[in-house]
Amino acid sequence: MPVVGFLNPTSLDPNVDNLRGFRQGLKEAGYVEGENVAIEYRWAENQIERLPELAAELVRRQVAVIATTGATAAASAAKATTATIPIVFLTGADPVRDNLVTSLARPGGNLTGINLLTTDLTAKRLELLRELVPAATRVAVLVNPAGPAPETMLNHVEVAARAIGLQIQVLNAGTSRRPSQLLCASGPMQFSSAATPFSSAGVSNWSIWHRATQSLRHIRCVNMS
């Protein structure tokens, strides 16, 4: 029975829906977990430094392929561990810039995957926020510091904000659900009259943020996930 390695920097709970889709994709390809394929799961529980050892465990298990999701760090850890086992990654950053593949047209090596262009669209999201709130001068970035590679998103936000004359303020937060990056815009950075963000990462994230800002009078929403 072939074995598929699954490597993720977070945990099981926020990935239930993703796993359902992962298993469905395998099923459509003719593989059903427990019947004709086994899946070895490795979760770093938001401890990025554990990824290299978890990747090494999958290599020692002699999996047929490693699927990495959640952050570029997972794919990088798998790449550093094996040059022969195929690795399929999911990333929101540029895989060429992050040295995962040689080029988008010809990945080369043992890695291939999907780029969601999440970080590359940061500038466009800020432009949309400026259109929604023309008087905005400062942008608050609400980020889960325990999430995978929040620094990458913050770097893109800082560069994009400077380009259109906005200031940013980083606010650290965390939930038990899926890590996400959120933006909100306001005139003066006053939460009593600010515009609040919305993330499609899950109803739980929205509920938590809504409870925290339910006294706000003006709400502007933009999808940041």
* The pairing of beta strand 138-143 with beta strand 181-186: antiparallel
- pLDDT at res. 65: 97
- pLDDT at res. 144: 67
136 and 161 inside one domain: yes
Does 223 fall in a domain? Answer: no
- pLDDT at res. 118: 74
Q: How wide is the angle at C-alpha 216 spanned by C-alphas 215 and 222, nearest 5°?
A: 135
**CA 84 to CA 2: how far, in whole Å?**
16
Task: Answer with the one of 115, 148, 168 that is the final residue of a domain.
Answer: 115
- pLDDT at res. 3: 97
35 and 65 inside one domain: yes
Q: How confident is the model at residue 29 (pLDDT cuts 50, 70, 90)?
A: very high
Average pLDDT over residues 21-32: 95
Encoded amino acid at 173, one letter: A
Does 80 fall in a domain? Answer: yes
202 and 148 inside one domain: yes
- pLDDT at residue 127 tops 70: yes
- pLDDT at residue 183 tops 70: no
Q: Which residues pair with 167 in a beta bridge?
A: 138
- Domain extent for 105: 3-115
Helix (H, G, I), strand (E, B) or coil at 102: coil
**CA 161 to CA 21: how far, in whole Å?**
35
133 and 32 inside one domain: no
Task: Answer with the one of 72, 99, 115 that is the final residue of a domain.
Answer: 115
* Overall residue count recorded for the chain in this entry: 225
Average pLDDT over residues 144-163: 74
Does 222 fall in a domain? Answer: no
Greater pLDDT, 87 or 206: 87
156 and 54 inside one domain: no
- The CATH number assigned to the domain holding 179 equals 3.30.360
* The pairing of beta strand 138-143 with beta strand 87-91: unpaired
Kind and range of the H or E element at 168? strand 167-172
99 and 126 inside one domain: no
Q: What is the mean pLDDT of the chain?
A: 77
- pLDDT at res. 194: 30
Task: Answer with the one of 92, 115, 138 that is the final residue of a domain.
Answer: 115
Helix (H, G, I), strand (E, B) or coil at 46: coil
Does 192 fall in a domain? Answer: yes
Least confident of 45-59, 110-124, 144-158: 144-158
69 and 57 inside one domain: yes
136 and 182 inside one domain: yes
Average pLDDT over residues 82-87: 97
29 and 78 inside one domain: yes
Q: What is the domain count for the chain?
A: 2
Other C-beta atoms closer than 10 Å to the C-beta of 104 total 10
Q: Which residue has the tokens 């990462």?
A: 201
Q: Which residue has the tokens 């023309």?
A: 134
Average pLDDT over residues 147-171: 79
- pLDDT at res. 213: 46
65 and 85 inside one domain: yes
